[in-house]
Structure 1
Amino acid sequence: MFAAPTACYRSAAVPTGVLLTLLLMISVAPVEAADPPPLTHRFKPIDEPIPAPPLRLPAVDGVVYDLAELQGRVVLVNFWATWCPPCRQEMPSMERLHRQLESRGLTILAVDVGEDADTVVAFTNQLEPAPTFPLLLDPDSRATQEWRVKGLPTSFVVDTEGKLVMRAEGGTEFDEPELIERLRTYLPTP
């Protein structure tokens, strides 16, 4: 039986062509129908918050977003890719979280790793609900490396002072009530 992974990893030691060939072989191999594993809400606090690395990237619409300009807001930074099953699975819950907490001061920046705008838009247009938060492009994976992302999806919470306060590796159910309550503790009080 085939079980979908909870995180996607890409090793720098394996050539991209080999990875794509393996991915194609897996995707066309006959498998039993199986539900993907449930997403979690495994955000863990960072014991000693540190300043977030720089993040300045264009979105699929060409607008450039700079994390430094968002100081004073809580920012959820999610690194993902369209080829990653748990990344695909968590995207609708991220939009639901965005709709719930944007007015309270939460900004979501979803950083696509290694793909172009057409690929990202084609995928996200199929989602229900479709994302309304910025979809940033990191085509050369430079930001991904600066943020020390080891696998996809990986998410971080940056507090109002620009410090990393929480991290999650693997697929996350972003609109889980427990996670929403934890995020509210970082948001400015209304």
Structure 2
Amino acid sequence: MLRSALLYTALLIGANTGFAAQVDWQAAHDAGLVKLVPSRDAPPIPETEFTDPDGGTHRLSDWQGKVALVNFWATWCAPCREEMPALDALQAELGGEDFQVVTIATGRNAPAKIDQFFEETGVQNLPVLLDPRQQLARQMGVVGLPVTVLIDRDGNEVARLLGDADWSSDAAKDVIRQLTAD
């Protein structure tokens, strides 16, 4: 009985390692995503609610079944201003049934300021979602901005990037394609 349990445990661990190896993290790092760090033993994604400007409520589990690139940002954040057009381009090219860029303005970000920010940076394809009390950001360990968290179809954090990145780069698109491959 103990042997069977050990065998199945070893197979399960091997299967999880094989699944995690779908993404070539080293290639992503070498191609320019040097701050992207694969997550190990990440806690479950919280069920904390956040809102949209119309008062609708959302949870990260709303995107379960899709790969989600969750980006925490703010209108006053200079690196966010640089990064947001690349996120918009990534959503325009790869967003759809299998993948979604989920941008969440955390802290005090008036919807009018977000609209102005999007207009000034040319953003057209990203959602306006709000975490005004930073509850979700705190629960996800966001201590600076921007922070991007990659979440797999099952709702597990698979990688995190602190700071800005060129999400429209070939390296970023390759990571998303690898995560969405069946």
Calculate the TM-score normalised by the size of structure 1: 0.72
C-alpha distance after superposition, 1:81-116 (max 9, x if no partner): 111110111000000000111135111111111122
Deviation at 1:188, TM superposition (A): 4.3
State the distance in 2 between where 1:140 and 1:66 align.
15
Choose the corresponding residue for 2:96, options 88, 103, 108.
Answer: 103
Deviation at 1:40, TM superposition (A): 5.4
Flag the structure with higher helix content. 2
What amino acid maps onto 1:126 in structure 2? E
Partner of 1:160: 153
Deviation at 1:127, TM superposition (A): 1.9
State the distance in 2 between where 1:116 and 1:41 align.
32
Q: Is the 8 A contact 2:149 2:161 kept in 1?
A: yes
State the distance in 2 between where 1:148 and 1:176 align.
26
1:88 lines up with 2:81 in the alignment: yes
Choose the corresponding residue for 2:117, options 116, 123, 133.
Answer: 123
Greater radius of gyration (CA): 2
Q: Which runs of 5+ in 1 are unaligned?
A: 1-38
Choose the corresponding residue for 1:51, options 44, 52, 65.
Answer: 44
Count of paired positions: 150
Aligned partner of residue 53 in structure 1, secondary structure: coil
C-alpha distance after superposition, 1:151-180 (max 9, x if no partner): 100010010010000100001110111121
Deviation at 1:55, TM superposition (A): 4.2
* Aligned counterparts, 1:1-190, within 5 A: 42-103=35-96, 105-114=98-107, 115-128=109-122, 130-189=123-182
Q: Is the 8 A contact 1:60 1:121 kept in 2?
A: no
Aligned partner of residue 108 in structure 1, secondary structure: strand
Q: Which runs of 5+ in 2 are unaligned?
A: 1-31
State the distance in 1 between where 2:48 and 2:36 align.
20
Calculate the TM-score normalised by the size of structure 2: 0.75
State the distance in 1 between where 2:35 and 2:171 align.
10
State the distance in 2 between where 1:50 and 1:66 align.
16
C-alpha distance after superposition, 1:28-81 (max 9, x if no partner): xxxxxxxxxxx9563211123442122432123444332212211011111111
Higher mean displacement: 86-95 or 66-75: 66-75
State the distance in 1 between where 2:119 and 2:55 align.
17
What amino acid maps onto 1:43 in structure 2? L
State the distance in 2 between where 1:78 and 1:55 align.
15
Aligned partner of residue 103 in structure 1, secondary structure: coil
